[in-house]
Amino acid sequence: MNLEQIKYIVEVAKESSITKAADKLHLSPSAISQSITQLEKEFGISIFTRSRQGTIPTAEGKSIVSKAYEILHKMDELQEELSIKQKAKKLTLKVGCAPALTYMVYDAFLLFHEQFPGVNVMIKEIDQDHILEEIKNGSIDIGLSSFTEYDLSSMKHEKGIGYEPLYTGHVCVCAGKKSPLYYKEFLTPAELTDKKMVIYNSKGGTTFNDTYLKNEQILFSSNNIEVLRSAILDGHAFSFVLNFTFKKNVDVLNRNLALIPFKNPDLVYQDFWTLYPLTRGLTAEAKEFDQLMRYLLEQ
């Protein structure tokens, strides 16, 4: 086994396709296929199962893929330690986050910037559908989003995505003072069925409504958070948010907006995760940012 073969294995596992891996590595599919076949003969096992559904690691292959990620991770660490020029460059941290976390991510940025003013931070709000792809392609250094552990379980070996639990929040109804919902201690689906709502224009927002409410009284969907906020403040609609999304928002602090627990029949919980490229892990800057997020979420 050589380093090139290790790279081939990882790329094929990430793409679930020899052809796509070859395209990314600027090689011919036959060259990669022959190299992997040679390696399988050397080890005496099948690393991948090839079918119409794609090229997927076998049970034994998953162990090899996992070790391959570790080797590439170590190689990245070594290159980082040896690259004096790289250290001299201005550091950049690219953060991707789900809409529910944007306010909290900005607060974390403010604290991070005080401690590390020399790091150029770029924050990108990304829908759940796309954040895994951004991590896989190395477009962001750290991703912060909600998923079930089942959703992520296949990502480690197949897409090269590492993940750690970040925080578990619960769903709330956000209502303005002019809304009859404002003074409720909690709300159930039955109490919201005929009420106007606004939702964030994402698959997550639509899926949640379809799963728990099936409310057809949608005033509008939008990615403009200020428009959503105005509709709620004016009492024309409510929206679903997480318990931490707006907790430091001035309208919540001034009690112009209320965050009311949503029950069905119990609280509805949602798990959030820290995501990162498995080959290089969390950079030192990403680890610091992650710790600040955890600090803010636990307050």
Rounded to whole angstroms, the Cα distance separating 266 from 52 reads 43
For the CA atoms of 164, 15, 151, 239, the dihedral, rounded to the nearest 10 degrees, stands at: 90
Rounded to whole angstroms, the Cα distance separating 195 from 73 reads 51
Q: What is the mean pLDDT of residues 73-83?
A: 79
Question: Do residue 161 and residue 174 come from a single domain?
Answer: no
Domain that holds residue 20: 3-82
Q: What is the mean pLDDT of residues 261-266?
A: 94
Question: Do residue 157 and residue 276 come from a single domain?
Answer: yes
Could you tell me the CATH number of the domain that includes residue 125?
3.40.190.10
Question: Do residue 193 and residue 235 come from a single domain?
Answer: yes
Question: Do residue 183 and residue 243 come from a single domain?
Answer: yes
- Asked whether 209 and 197 are in contact (CB, 8 A), the reply is yes
Which among 26, 58, 82 is the end of a domain? 82
Could you tell me the CATH number of the domain that includes residue 32?
1.10.10.10
Question: Do residue 112 and residue 25 come from a single domain?
Answer: no
Could you tell me the CATH number of the domain that includes residue 220?
3.40.190.290
Question: Do residue 201 and residue 265 come from a single domain?
Answer: yes
Question: Do residue 72 and residue 11 come from a single domain?
Answer: yes
Question: Do residue 147 and residue 120 come from a single domain?
Answer: yes
**Residue bearing the bigger pLDDT, 86 or 188:** 188
The contacts of residue 111 (CB under 8 Å, 6+ apart) are 292, 295, 296
pLDDT one-digit tens code per residue, 120-175 = 999 999 888 789 899 988 899 999 999 988 888 877 767 789 999 999 999 999 99
For the CA atoms of 10, 13, 14, 18, the dihedral, rounded to the nearest 10 degrees, stands at: 100
pLDDT one-digit tens code per residue, 213-263 = 876 788 988 878 788 889 999 999 999 999 998 888 889 999 999 999 999
| Residue 83: per-residue pLDDT | 65
Q: What is the mean pLDDT of residues 77-100?
A: 75
pLDDT for residue 86 is more than 60 = no
> Which of 77-91, 133-147, 183-197 shows the lowest mean pLDDT across its residues?
77-91
pLDDT one-digit tens code per residue, 20-72 = 999 999 999 899 889 888 988 888 899 989 888 889 999 888 999 999 999 88
Which among 82, 104, 120 is the end of a domain? 82
Question: Do residue 178 and residue 265 come from a single domain?
Answer: yes
Which among 82, 108, 126 is the end of a domain? 82
Question: Do residue 66 and residue 107 come from a single domain?
Answer: no
Structural domains in the chain (count)? 3
Question: Do residue 156 and residue 198 come from a single domain?
Answer: no
- Token representation of residue 227: 């428009």
pLDDT for residue 200 is more than 90 = no
Question: Do residue 175 and residue 266 come from a single domain?
Answer: yes
